[in-house]
Amino acid sequence: MSFKVVNFNVRNKNESSTQIQILKALFSCGREKEDFLTSIKKYIYICSEQYLKTHAQEQWPQPIIFYQPYEVEQILLPDNANCLAVQAYLKMCGLEFQIEPRSNAEYMSPSGRVPFIQCGAFLVAEFDPIVAFISSKGTSLSEQLSQTDKADMRAYMSLVNNVLVNIEQYICWVDQTTLNSATKPRHGSVYPWPLNHVINWQKQNQVTKRLKVLGWYNKTLDEIYKEAENCCTALAERLEGKSFFSGEEPTELDALVYGHVHAITSTHFLPSTRGIINIVRSFPQLLEHARLINNRYFNCNPNLIIEDLDILKCMSDDSIWNSSRSLESLPSLTEDSF
């Protein structure tokens, strides 16, 4: 019996490494306690990442298609903050984009998170990958910064992602008042009964697992507020005396902070959200920073911010709170839907 040797022609180390990653992703569900869907998502993510590396320098079409959940009926605080941050970054880069609300945007996303953009053949999700993708096309807001300033910027971005994001998820999915009165009705509003209950349970389980691993699940609201105060203090001190965090021109840090400050201060009043809103209101530097970005990039009058509440109500045609963009009809809601 003779054996034929198959010669795999590997062009370079990068392709070989990618092939190994794909094989690991495909067979990981057999070795690990991991479901098949998660393994397939890993496979798709690795393929997409390699495609971006290979074709990033190709000319990209405009406008960019920006996918997000429905802003009036569906979107939650953490997703709203992320969407606003990416919108602000795109505007700061001078890139045109078209907002396309979708009820299943989270499941359309290659990473399972929103927002995500479609740029020709490319689908890129979440703030950091979108910033990296745009940078690969030759557009960057931090290119002029020194290595030290870039390291500082990344440190503050990490602070926002590790504190404000966790606080927003805690308020939405752990605090029982917000969970029952706002999160479940909004998150499940676009799905019929009983699918809305299944989707809510699945998302709550996913978020609470993450917060437990990070040590946030068992925190009290007072501890959450203290974390928020410490984070805002650090950001305000960094911003002191400057228009933007790195000087006179914005960077991705400015877009990220703006997204969270605007989302938090424009949230409807609930007992748990009132506390976090009051904390952010106590830092005029952050509010003025948000006013400036609204005025410069969203064509908003800075005086439209309500003085007695300091809640950011100003919006543009591309704003995430523009209900007229919600074109798809939604299923009617009944008491049984929740």
- pLDDT by residue (tens digit) across 134-158? 999 999 999 999 999 999 999 999 9
Query: What is the value of pTM for the model shown?
Result: 0.75
152 burial (CB, 10 Å; 0-12 / 13-18 / 19+) is middle
pLDDT, position 121: 86
Taking the domains of the chain in order of start, what are their residue ranges?
Answer: 15-55, 147-324
CB 259 within 8 A of CB 131: no
pLDDT, position 306: 36
Q: Does domain 147-324 have CATH number 1.20.1250.20?
A: no
pLDDT, position 119: 92
Which residue numbers in the chain have pLDDT < 70?
A: 1-61, 269, 300-338
pLDDT, position 241: 87
Can you say how many angstroms the Cα of residue 223 is from the centroid of all Cα atoms in its chain?
24
Any idea what the Cα angle at residue 255 is, between residues 250 and 256, rounded to 5°?
A: 135
pLDDT, position 59: 62
